[in-house]
Structure 1
């Protein structure tokens, strides 16, 4: 690294970071891949938090029984084969040979069962599956069995879900850690090994190639297929400032940006030394508080939905047409369960209809408290536009600006808006979290036990339970569409369109990047 570049990095990040990173950067090994993650890795337990960066860390060092391919279909990963009894209640799984943890111990059925039991205590999809489970036991060292009280249709979707929370497999002794306590060891059976002695929160995380990992023979796709590691070492270098991230990539100090700031996308795309690609996708939505006025009235929720203008919202927040699209499906457009049924709601505003509904509901102009996270760059530009659209639809809006941490804290309050509560907030969900209605939290309608906003609708919960029990694709497709229609009927939330989050990496230096909805870092080569 030139002295000029080292000075530029030091001036932005401070001498402490340069000193911490210098030994790794000085190695100059072509088999070291350096990545700037989308955020700082603070929590290492992927079952304890839904943070995307912790999920990505999980994929580095752990493996999964099943995964989700690039087309949204479930495929085997650690599992070699499985069978289902004729009554649909008993599922038996056999692990593929050669699976071993980083400490050299073989992966056994007991490890799998302990890992699943801990995961199911924290993950909503796991909780639902285990509530239907009658028994889980080991058949042999390499096979296990799940026995349900009645046929359960989303077993594979539960075991192969690509995101929050992923059922990663850990050694039994680690998986027996209470679910409300973070694990102390970080040993998996995945393609990389975590270098705990080099972990510096706020600075870097280091992973080494697992030389004993045996990848599957299939081509990699999504979180499935052959996890072939072609570099010896991966370093996650934490750089918080967007301009510093871009400078580090262009100057060759790092090899890849996991998430390109939208304002720098065009310049990086035009740089002939950089490759950009639209990778992880997601959905924006406006969530209502169903507990308190005025959104405790479905007519008022419908009025707000009618006021939304997806193109205006996406144009303001993302600004790059190739990175966003309007979409009225509650599941990602183009995914297996996507549907165009949205009743009378469209991606364009219908202000006159919105005002008619407000009049019918007896809305008297009381302020709607809209939360605005000013420091969340993925969301920050949306609330002011939402506020303006709501005003055009007949609402009085009181937008409260604060940092994202304060939004997270305030949205958990169930008090009336005028007493420190809230009425609506804007949020973002990754595509991988919205692939089915059992996993997608905004579709929950179990009242105060559910997700923030606390929608309550018995019919919705019945439909979601039916989806979980459904045994064939046609039935699930129909139920998913019924759930979408019901979500619109009850005004669960207002969909605000979809976006792609671009990645960028050094052209001619990095190859084999797997572009998809989930960030994974196997298959990558450096010459």
Structure 2
């Protein structure tokens, strides 16, 4: 028996029938300090969150995520579902245009989905369930599925990295393993490549032909997106004190991530506000390279669980201000439905480095060089690197700390070469926001070898459990499977969770920030 539904179109007609006041003319300029420079501009190729943030200025997504973490039509007017959930038709909104003036067509959407899915764990799960993906017409995208996949809107509207952005066909057909360097999107802002100064400045300008939705929640990445500034400038200021001074003096409007040691001083500045944007926080991550010694050996990775104390890691990042961090953190965001603390007790408390040395020797560690990448321009990650390097050295490992900028880390972590040929052993980062809500988007737990996130671990059992989660009949079953995933995670140890950190953002003279991460539509002068 067939079932047919249609979502997302009726509300637009209702809203359009109501007279709306004219929007105020956009203000000229917003100056912003991002978390780092945008070393890579392709938000599909990399999982760097700064590139995801850049992507949401330039590109749009088929679905948006609202403040309740549900998904709503964004580039699509709506969709139909037939054949007991195995046939989906997605209809694009009218009036969508790329920055080069060309209309957005289903023929652009199909290769964009394919390219994104080749790089993203959630997207790959959708494509594994897909028998046919095609452009049925210029405005209709058709999915014929092998089996029902009710999470289709979530896969195509996910807010974690990588971004499910829609590119023109000529760019979307690019090999997923090759970066796209020309940024032509259909989002609210254009990328001004001609004004980019690597390491110093990135510029965006309002796209006058962007047509916001007429309906929707206008929260997180969903609903109408109105650009209130003609120009957005990202100023790269690695030194926190210089950034704080620029914000305090009115030279900068918004600083994405003020360091915890400066937050107390910033709170006292007239007209300056400090608040959290992402209630999900970010989980610190010590990621191993599982391709080469010594961390191709899971027993060596397991031995290091005894070397890392989450409380020490988070104290190094945010001090004693417990509102900014949590320990006893596993692979899923604390206080979300799939979260469990099973096994996390081994990551909290006094460390016994002599015992870790013995465990490493028993596991077969032979003094191999460990190259640990330290991004000095990310204070919160730099602090993790310092703690990790110290813990590994106390455990008897031969650690080489390579201090560099985040852009270089992003480039180098893509290398699959051994350390003597420019490779790496460990990098530190954060797995942020909704990426950590469930196994669909949690890229760090994948055990699919060459197709896994940087580090490329192989774990057939983690992959089996992830498939079981997709097939689970209810939330209770999903939660039980997530507990099993975490148990297996601590056997395979593709990375070590270092605690959850909840960053603040600081700004003055503006309002309208959406939750989740730094987004620039709806931001407007007070």
Match of 2:115 in 1: 118
Structure 1 residues 409 and 145: CA distance shift in structure 2, 3 A: same
Q: Does residue 1:99 correspond to 2:80, yes or no?
A: no
CA contact (8 A) 2:189 2:204 kept: no
CA contact (8 A) 1:303 1:354 kept: no
Match of 1:250 in 2: 248
CA contact (8 A) 1:69 1:75 kept: yes
Instruction: Give distance in 1, aligned partners of 2:183 and 2:262.
Output: 35
Summarize the alignment of residues 55-454 of structure 1 with structure 2, pairs less than 5 Å apart.
55-152=52-149, 154-183=151-180, 185-201=182-198, 202-210=200-208, 212-280=210-278, 281-290=281-290, 298-319=298-319, 320-342=321-343, 345-349=346-350, 351=352, 358=359, 361=362, 366=367, 369=370, 371=372, 373=374, 375-376=376-377, 377-389=379-391, 395-404=395-404, 405=408, 409=412, 412=415, 415=418, 424-454=426-456
Instruction: Give distance in 2, aligned partners of 1:261 and 1:343.
Output: 27
Q: How far has the Cα of 1:152 moved from its partner?
A: 3.6
Structure 1 unaligned blocks of 5 or more: 1-28
> Residue 246 of structure 1 aligns to a residue in which SS?
helix
Q: How far has the Cα of 1:423 moved from its partner?
A: 5.6
Structure 1 residues 422 and 459: CA distance shift in structure 2, 3 A: same
Structure 2 unaligned blocks of 5 or more: 1-25
Structure 1 residues 481 and 66: CA distance shift in structure 2, 3 A: farther
Q: How far has the Cα of 1:256 moved from its partner?
A: 0.7
Q: Does residue 1:35 correspond to 2:32, yes or no?
A: yes
Match of 1:457 in 2: 459
Q: How far has the Cα of 1:519 moved from its partner?
A: 1.8
Aligned length: 493
Instruction: Give distance in 1, aligned partners of 2:75 and 2:244.
Output: 37
Instruction: Give distance in 2, aligned partners of 1:324 and 1:349.
Output: 19
> Residue 253 of structure 1 aligns to a residue in which SS?
coil
For normalisation by structure 1, the TM-score amounts to: 0.81
Structure 1 residues 266 and 344: CA distance shift in structure 2, 3 A: closer
Q: How far has the Cα of 1:172 moved from its partner?
A: 3.0
Deviations 1:238-271 (A, max 9, x none): 3343333222211112211122233322221222
Instruction: Give distance in 2, aligned partners of 1:62 and 1:419.
Output: 36
Structure 1 residues 130 and 523: CA distance shift in structure 2, 3 A: same
Instruction: Give distance in 2, aligned partners of 1:34 and 1:271.
Output: 18
Match of 2:503 in 1: 501
CA contact (8 A) 1:102 1:210 kept: no
CA RMSD in angstroms comes to 3.4
Structure 1 residues 331 and 172: CA distance shift in structure 2, 3 A: same
Q: How far has the Cα of 1:40 moved from its partner?
A: 2.2
CA contact (8 A) 1:305 1:493 kept: no
Q: How far has the Cα of 1:421 moved from its partner?
A: 7.0
Q: How far has the Cα of 1:315 moved from its partner?
A: 0.7
Q: How far has the Cα of 1:422 moved from its partner?
A: 6.3
Match of 1:480 among 479, 482, 492: 482
Instruction: Give distance in 1, aligned partners of 2:27 and 2:148.
Output: 52
Segment of structure 1 superposing worse, 345-354 or 460-469:
345-354
Instruction: Give distance in 1, aligned partners of 2:374 and 2:348.
Output: 24
For normalisation by structure 2, the TM-score amounts to: 0.81
